[in-house]
Structures are given as structure tokens and as C-alpha cells.
Structure 1
Amino acid sequence: MRVQGAVVREQGVTFAIAIVKKHVIDNQAEARRAINAFTQVFPGMPVVLMAQDHRGCPIYYGRQDISRFLANVPMHAIPWREYTLN
């Protein structure tokens, strides 16, 4: 399975962002399962999920400090790429 995501290092913290459908973020249990699954792709890093609302605005789920930081980062400034989840 291929996923779109990014690894970001900011202010001494390295973390991962994984793009999911909005319904994943809307369901807390499903969001936690997704984060656990993505730790295989991004070992040793906190994982934050990102989905887009109906207007295309990003919504983040995960560590609050990282989610707050990302809320102020333009999506085009994030180094997105494709990763493989086995």
C-alpha cells in the first residue's frame, strides 16, 4: 500500500505526517489505529495525520504541539512524497 506523507525536522523535532481521508480523523479509534500502522513506515517518530475538509483546508490529528505548529504551515511548504506501507 502506498501513502502520501512527509518527514519534517523543525526546532529539533523530527516527525512524520501521513495523509488520510477525513473520516479517519473524524473517528478517534480509527485515527489511533492509523497512527499505529504508520509507525511501521516512520519508526521512532511521532506521526500526525492530515486530511482536508470540504474546502481543501488541512486538518491535523496527533500530538497537539505538532498539530498546532502544522496549522500555521502552508501545505506547499511540506516536503510530500510517496511511501510504501507493507
Structure 2
Amino acid sequence: MRFDGAVIKEQGITFAIVVVKPTVLQQHSSEIEKVRAGFSRYFPRMPVILMAQKARGIPTYHGRTDIVKFLANIDPRRIPWKTYTAS
């Protein structure tokens, strides 16, 4: 499996962002949490934020509220995106 994501350290907090399809964030919250938990094994001991982009490229974040608020004010082009390969 391959996915795009980033690890960021900001204001003393290290967290991960994982890009998902918009339909993932349209699911019931328990299903979203299952997706987040699945990615947590690749980013141990870090909060995982899920990010989807709408058709116009506008990002939507889901996760810890303080981190989501922070990311809402950041241009997503400034995020150090990387493609991860997971087995």
C-alpha cells in the first residue's frame, strides 16, 4: 500500500497527516476512527490527522481539534508531503 502523508513538529507537538479520499471523511465517525487507527501503526505515539481535498483543492482535516485549527491556517503546499510505502 502507498499513501501520501507528512510528519510535522510544530509548537512542541509532533503529528502525522495522511491524505485520504473525500469519501472517507463522509463516513460515520466510528468508521473514520478505524481509518485513523489503521494509520497509527505507521506513526506510533503521534496524533494522526486525516486530510482530504475537495474538487477545488480545498483541504478538509479531521482529527485532534487544536491541530486541525492550526492546519486550517496553513497553506497545504507548505506541508512536507512524502509518499509512504507500507506493507
Q: Which TM-score band (shorter chain)?
A: over 0.9
Q: Distance in 1 between matches of 2:86 and 2:68?
A: 23
Q: How does 1:44-83 map to 2 (within 5 A)?
A: 44-83=45-84
Identity %: 50
Q: Distance in 1 between matches of 2:77 and 2:55?
A: 18
The aligned length equals 86
Partner of 1:37: 38
Partner of 2:6, secondary structure, is: strand
Partner of 2:8: 8
Deviation per residue, 1:2-22 (Å, 9 max, x gap): 110000000000000000001
Q: Distance in 2 between matches of 1:70 and 1:37?
A: 21
Would the aligned equivalents of 1:18 and 1:50 in 2 still touch at CA under 8 Å? yes
Partner of 1:41, secondary structure, is: coil
CA RMSD in angstroms, aligned pairs only: 0.9
- Residue ranges of structure 2 left out of the alignment (5+ in a row): none
Runs of at least 4 residues off by over 6 Å: none
TM-score (norm 1): 0.95
